[in-house]
Structures are given as structure tokens and as C-alpha cells.
Amino acid sequence: MEALVQVLSCPVCLELFTPPVLVLSCAHNFCKKCLEKILILQNCSHVNGHFSCPMCRKTVYLRGGGLIGLPRNILVENVLEKFKYELENLHAREQDRLSQICEEHGESMNLV
């Protein structure tokens, strides 16, 4: 589970990706909001500029559309959505299991 969290985390904010997830020409993925911050830090024009990928330092050229021109990584977004759903279900099942444990004795209650 921890390995999946790492794969689905933005290397800039270190949190699970916040869609839209953009993929650079070097194939690294980032939250759009994180890339906006990178452009500001690197004094990059949002339209026709270029900036260095924070991961590999390769130059990424922005065409006329700026970040809007970068492709979204729909696969990562879909996997992220499913992962969050499963995580919520796991948490709910764990809460349900814990609610069936006697707080005083720490043992499972036999509710028949």
C-alpha cells in the first residue's frame, strides 16, 4: 500500500496527486497547481516559455497554450480515483471492526 502511495504522489508537494495531473515531455507527472508554482519559481512565462523538470532537469517547452497545452495523465487520475475509493472503504471497514471491540476489555464482542 505504501508503495502505491509513493507512485500516486506528486514529487513537488509529496501528497497524493490533485487532479488534473499533467505529464511532461520527459514523462514525469505533477499536479497542475504544483507546476504553476514551479513556473513562478523559475520565472517562466506561462505561455511560450520553458522550464526545467523538477525531477530530471530536462527542459520542457511550453507551446502557445502554456500548461493548458500539456497533456493530462488520465490513467494516473483514474487509478488515483479508484485508490482513494478503496482507501475510504478500507477505513470504513476498519472503523466497523473497531466498533465491535469491547472498550473495557479490548476483546471482540460476540453479537449474535
Give 43-87 pLDDT, tens digit per residue.
887 677 899 999 999 999 998 778 999 999 999 999 999 999 998
Regarding pTM above 0.85, the answer is no
**In the predicted model, what is the mean pLDDT of residues 1-7?**
90
- pLDDT at 29 (0 to 100): 98
Measured between alpha carbons, how far apart are the two ends of the chain, in Å? 34
Q: Are 66 and 46 in contact (CB under 8 A)?
A: yes
Q: Which residues lie closer than 8 Å to 109 by C-beta, 6 or more apart? A: 100, 101, 102
- Residue that has been written with the C-alpha cell 475509493 in this structure: 85
Per-residue CA distances from 99 to 92, 102, 105 (Å): 11, 8, 13
